Chains A and B, each alone.
Chain A
Amino acid sequence: MELLIFYPLAGLCVAFALGVVVNNSPAGSAMSLIAMMLGLAGIFVLQQAHFIAVLQIIIYAGAIMVLFMFVIMLLNLKGSGESASWRSRDKNLLLTVLSGLLVAGVLYKIIAVVESGNFDSPALRPETFGTVRQVGTILFTEFVLPFEVASILLLVAMIGAVVLAKNKVD
């Protein structure tokens, strides 16, 4: 039953991820990426990670992609930039073959590990697994220091972005 939901979602994610890479216009890539993020949110729901799924939609498909679209619109990149020229770069074939080798190697390794034992049978999980309450409790007890550090990181990133975007690079 879950597999019936998983395969279409996974296929959609892979297709849209490829769409990000092969699309000629940055706006089209961004749209593909939003679709991929939404598909991934579905996969997170399938994995009982509801909190992460909601965050995926709010942070990625919402905030980050709006930032991307904002910059694409701001720079008005339509027509400028690389456009279609990336398809005819010298080493593209080599790089594609290399990444094909990479994916073949990774899949081979995963298959080897999976075949070597009862890897696929997960532990029994309680009904409350993955609820926001559970994740929040752990986040604010065991991982409260990383959580605070993350907030400092975001503050630093915010200040850095303001400083970088304000001044002209010499």
Chain B
Amino acid sequence: MEIVPLSHYLFLSATLFVIGVTGVLVRRNAIVVFMSIEIMLNAVNISLVAFDRYLNLHDGQIFSFMVMCVAAAEVSVGLAIIIALFRNKPTINLDEFNIMKS
């Protein structure tokens, strides 16, 4: 059975990562920016697992497991921050948040 070459996974990973970067740069909705960050983390996971299969190791899978842990932690804290900000000012448009200024 013909298997998918490593480069295909890397292409997919790079494409998804850049889509995530674009989302972070272009969107101003805090929640959508968070989702774009999730896309980037997932893109990295594809690379990790692809290399792990290519090199016949399992370290990459363990690493992507850790990435998932960090993503879960990041999302829970980040969404708590968004809720706290929303209480302070009823919007999640990132352009309107400048409480750290001055």
Contact surface of A with B, Cβ cutoff 8 Å: 1-3, 6, 10, 13-14, 17-18, 20-21, 23, 26, 29-30, 33, 36-37, 40, 43-44, 46-49, 51-52, 55-56, 59-60, 63-64, 67-68, 71-72, 74-75, 77, 80-82, 85-86, 89, 92, 95-96, 98-99, 102-103, 106-107, 110-111, 114, 119-120, 122-125, 129-130, 134-135, 138-139, 143, 146, 150, 153-154, 156-158, 160-162, 164-165, 167-169
Known contacts being A36-B42, A52-B64, is A3 close to B22, with CB within 8 Å?
Answer: no
Q: Which one of A10, A99, A165 lies within 8 Å of B18 (CB-CB)?
A: A99
| Chain B residues closer than 8 Å to A20, beta-carbon distance | 19, 23, 32, 35-36, 39
| Chain B residues closer than 8 Å to A154, beta-carbon distance | 69, 72-73
Q: Which one of A80, A92, A139, A168 lies within 8 Å of B65 (CB-CB)?
A: A139
Q: Which one of A14, A26, A47 lies within 8 Å of B49 (CB-CB)?
A: A47
* Residue among A81, A110, A161, A167 with most chain B CB within 10 A: A81
How many B residues touch A, CB cutoff 8 Å?
76
Which residues of B42-93 have CB atoms within 8 Å of chain A's CB atoms? 42, 45-46, 49-50, 52-56, 58-59, 61-62, 64-66, 68-77, 79-88, 90-93
B34, A48: Cβ atoms closer than 8 Å? no
Give Cα A130 to B57, complex, Å.
9
Q: In the complex, what's the smallest C-beta–C-beta distance from B62 to chain A, in angstroms?
A: 5
* Residue among A23, A26, A37 with most chain B CB within 10 A: A26
A47, B53: Cβ atoms closer than 8 Å? yes
A3, B4: Cβ atoms closer than 8 Å? yes
Q: Which one of A14, A29, A130 lies within 8 Å of B53 (CB-CB)?
A: A130
| Chain B residues closer than 8 Å to A36, beta-carbon distance | 39, 42
Give Cα A44 to B32, complex, Å.
24
Interface of A is mostly: helix
B27, A86: Cβ atoms closer than 8 Å? yes
Q: Which one of A43, A49, A165 lies within 8 Å of B61 (CB-CB)?
A: A49
Closest to A150 in B: B69
Closest to A17 in B: B19
Q: Which one of A2, A30, A74 lies within 8 Å of B1 (CB-CB)?
A: A2
| Chain A residues closer than 8 Å to B92, beta-carbon distance | 75, 77, 80-81
Known contacts being A99-B21, A106-B14, is A64 close to B75, with CB within 8 Å?
Answer: yes
| Chain B residues closer than 8 Å to A86, beta-carbon distance | 26-29
A60, B68: Cβ atoms closer than 8 Å? yes
